[in-house]
Amino acid sequence: MDMRCWALVGLLAFAASAGAAPSLSCQLQSGQFKVGGGGKPNVFEFIWATGHGSAIPTGPVRTSIGRIDPVEGRDYKRAIKLDGKPVLLPPEAHSVIGFGKVYDFKDAIALAYLGEREEDSSARPSQIVIVINKAGSVIDSEVLPGAATNPGSHCLLID
């Protein structure tokens, strides 16, 4: 290929990336995320684990798709149950779940939380976002590693 062909390929790749959808966390932050035709979500916070005891865990979270319970998993990792049934989390989302927010869209929920994964430290947990439908399936997810020095295309949802 000559230089003009490579320039055209580069221009097309740039144009395609410019039209890419924002990340899941940025869609939630901006209000662009929609699931099941739902409108604006109800947003509330939860605390499931604390490292220093100054906050009191809130326990289960009642949502429009059911009750979300934190349960102990293997190696002190937290697992999630929806109405008593385990939710199969993607491997990159396995962590000790600290605290976060629930975005309740009526037909599905998004959990955005800080979680300490194997590769994280307690001082720098990952931001994990998972979307769970009424059937208890994870239909979308995103992880911003705790070791990341720049959020890049991710938006910070948890303070």
Where along the chain do its domains lie? 35-144
| pLDDT band with cut points at 50, 70 and 90 for residue 52 | low
| pLDDT band with cut points at 50, 70 and 90 for residue 53 | low
Mean pLDDT of the chain: 83
Segment 97-120 shows an average pLDDT of 92
| Least confident segment among 11-20, 44-53, 78-87 | 11-20
CA distance 80 to 156: 22
What is residue 38's predicted lDDT score, i.e. its pLDDT? 65
Q: Residue 94: which of 66, 125, 63, 67 has the closest Cα?
A: 125
Q: Tell me: the pLDDT tens digits for 137-147?
A: 999 999 999 88
Cα angle for residues 24, 140, 124 (degrees, 5° grid): 60
Neighbours of 26 (CB within 10 A): 18
What is residue 37's predicted lDDT score, i.e. its pLDDT? 66
Segment 33-46 shows an average pLDDT of 86
